[in-house]
Amino acid sequence: MTKLWTCVIVLLVNHVLSETDEGGTTLSPILPQKPLTCVIGAGYSGLAAARYLKEFGQNFKVFEASSNIGGTWRFDSHVGYDEYGAPVFTSTYKYLRTNTPRQTMEFSGFPFPSSTPSYPTNTCFYKYLKSFAKHFQLMDNIQFNSYVQSVKWVRNHWDLTYTKTDERQNYTTECDFVVVANGQYVKLKMPKVPGMNTFKGKIMHSHDYKGPEPFKNKKVLIVGAGASGLDLVTHLVNITDKLVHSHHLKYNQPKFPENFVKKPDMKAFLSNAVIFQDDTKEDIDVVICCTGYEYDHPFLDKSSGLTLTGKFVLPLYQHVVNIRHPSLTFIGIAKGIINRMLDAQAEYIASLIAGKFKLPAQEQMLKFWLQHVYALQDENKKIVDVNLVGPKMDQYFANLTEEAGITRAPPVLTDIRDFNAKYRLEDLLNYRDYDYELTDPYHYKRWHNGGGARAQECPIDSEPEQQKI
């Protein structure tokens, strides 16, 4: 085992087992009134948690920093900060469509209408979230414009301090349980390339991209070939004067127009150009960095007992439960999963809070986590992969749901995820022109839907707020 792994594990074992002021893994404090669960975030994960907490008769409140539900699925024209000074957390842009079939993204027991395209638009997905919140009557439990600043363990509860941004006032709420559901797409990762401060053009992150119109007739460089990088290429290649794509992904590149230029990684910036690793140079007006995100939990006090970085959070039992303080849980820390997994994590947490099952002893949870660590080490993974589920997603589904006694998601969802990830790289321009249907928990069928106007269909009654363009 590497020296870094060993040091981290030894420190954690000593820290986690050094104190037991929560009484091991008991989650039911002796209180004169019904315990309060505080959920951070009203995006997909926070709404899922709210649905199950309400279903199980729990006392809860959701703290949402913005003025609306939806998280990253809600379009907001603001860049950087909203009208009340809170950070804009959504990364959605105009004309976005999902890059995975909706069947992998639906809440359990609440499917899209069957006629919905398998790759709906972001506006359609937002309608879906609004109809979900309306159906389960969640809005009264959500407190908007409440930007969480601090979560601190104090004696036998959590003090959650937030700024009511529309009032410019700070408040503190005592919480018995905290569910962190603020998402993975929070802290922007930017490349560090010599000469960036001398570049006279614009350098931005894809998080701040709102639509293609501002880039018409510009010389644009897109950096990165993850989901956003590949998607923005298809949005911009037909309207820019020149579109340069810097990446090292191996995929079946479509036959783009002549204004498209493929380049390797960046080497250096000049005042109005970029030099690449092959020593070629391209004149550039705008650089869009599609370089991903990191975890960001600045509100979690050291009293949480966790090791928190932009790349990992540990130690978490089942990638959900803070082993040190089991009344602090997370949705969405696990990497390489589908949205449906977030729903399962939410049901697991709500079931735990409602007392429907009990956690193992603290020592057993730590042992379980260490087994996961050792398995990663055997696979030559690094410590930054400690929250990775990825290829083992179906087994993780099985373990999580079996422990909590909840319904397991159909195993076929993993097959759809894996097929989609592969086919997207084979036919980037057309992979969304197909619809899927689950025929049973282990099989699905797929067919070409004709493309074109089919992409814009959305048979959901609930109308979203009008997009600010």
pLDDT tens, residue order, the chain (469 aa): 555 555 455 545 555 555 444 444 445 444 457 899 999 999 999 999 999 999 999 999 999 999 999 999 999 999 999 999 999 999 999 999 999 999 999 999 999 999 999 999 999 999 999 999 999 999 999 999 999 999 999 999 999 999 999 999 999 999 999 999 998 878 999 999 999 999 999 999 999 999 999 999 999 999 999 999 999 999 999 999 999 999 999 999 999 999 999 999 999 999 999 999 999 999 999 999 999 999 999 999 999 999 999 999 999 999 999 999 999 999 999 999 999 999 999 999 999 999 999 999 999 999 999 999 998 888 888 888 999 998 889 999 999 999 999 988 999 999 999 999 999 999 999 999 999 999 999 999 999 999 999 999 999 975 444 333 2
Which two three-digit tokens encode residue 337? Answer: 């999963």
In a shared domain, residues 228 and 247: yes
Does residue 23 sit in the same domain as residue 159? yes
Measure the CA angle with vertex 420, ends 115 and 296; round to 5°.
Answer: 100
Query: How close are the terminal C-alpha atoms of the chain, in Å?
Result: 53
Residue 250 is encoded by which pair of tokens?
A: 């191996």
Based on the fold, state whether residues 234 and 356 are members of the same structural domain. no
Is 177 a domain residue? Answer: yes
Domain-located, residue 128 = yes
DSSP letters, 271-283, are SSEEEETTS-EEE
Q: What Rg, from alpha-carbon coordinates, does the chain have?
A: 23
| Residue 321 β-bridge partners | 317, 329
Same domain, yes or no: 195 and 180: no
| pLDDT at residue 40, rounded to an integer | 98
Please, which residues bridge with residue 273 across strands? 283
C-alpha to C-alpha distances, 461 to 43, 92, 110, 375, nearest whole angstrom: 20, 21, 14, 47
Which of the listed residues 388, 412, 436 is the one where a domain comes to its end? Answer: 412
Do 27 and 37 meet the contact criterion of CB atoms below 8 Å apart?
A: no
Beta carbons within 8 Å of 114's beta carbon, 6+ residues apart: none
Strands 273-276 and 266-269: antiparallel
pLDDT at position 14, please?
Answer: 54
The residue from 369, 394, 412 where one domain ends is 412
Considering the domain boundaries, does residue 73 fall inside one? yes
Contacts for 20 with CB less than 8 Å, ≥ 6 apart: 362
Output the pLDDT for position 466: 37
Range of the domain at 245: 190-289
Domain assignment present for 443? no
Per the structure, the count of domains in the chain is: 2
DSSP, residue by residue, 283-317: E-SEEEE---EE---TTB-GGG--EE-SS-EE-EE
Contact 118, 434 (CB under 8 A): yes
Among the candidates 248, 264, 289, a domain finishes at: 289
- Whether 367 maps to a domain, the answer reads yes
Q: 115 and 30, same structural domain? A: yes
Rounded CA gap, 41 and 63, in Å? 6
Both 299 and 272 in one domain: the answer is: no
**Same-domain status, 16 and 122:** yes
Same domain, 303 and 383: yes
**Length of the chain (residues):** 469
Query: Based on the domain organization, do 204 and 143 belong to the same domain?
Result: no
**Are 179 and 312 contained in the same domain?**
yes
Contact 16, 38 (CB under 8 A): no
- Residue 436 is assigned to a structural domain of this protein: no
Tokens of 439: 């025929």
- Quick check: 292 and 224 in contact, CB under 8 A? yes
Residue 202 belongs to a domain with what CATH number?
Answer: 3.50.50.60
Question: Kind of pairing, strands 157-164 and 169-175?
Answer: antiparallel
Q: Are residues 24 and 165 in the same domain?
A: yes
Q: For residue 390, what pLDDT is reported?
A: 82
Residue 171 and residue 100 share a domain: yes
Provide the pLDDT for residue 381: 86
Q: Print burial letters for 374-410: b (CB count within 10 Å at least 16), e (below 16).
A: eebbeeeeebebbbbbeeebbebbeebbebbebeebb
HSE of 390 in the Cβ direction (CA atoms, 13 Å)? 7
Return d(Cα 176, Cα 37) in angstroms, integer. Answer: 6
430: in domain: no
- Residue at 448 is within a domain: no
* Cβ count within 10 A of residue 121: 18
- The predicted structure's pLDDT at residue 468: 35
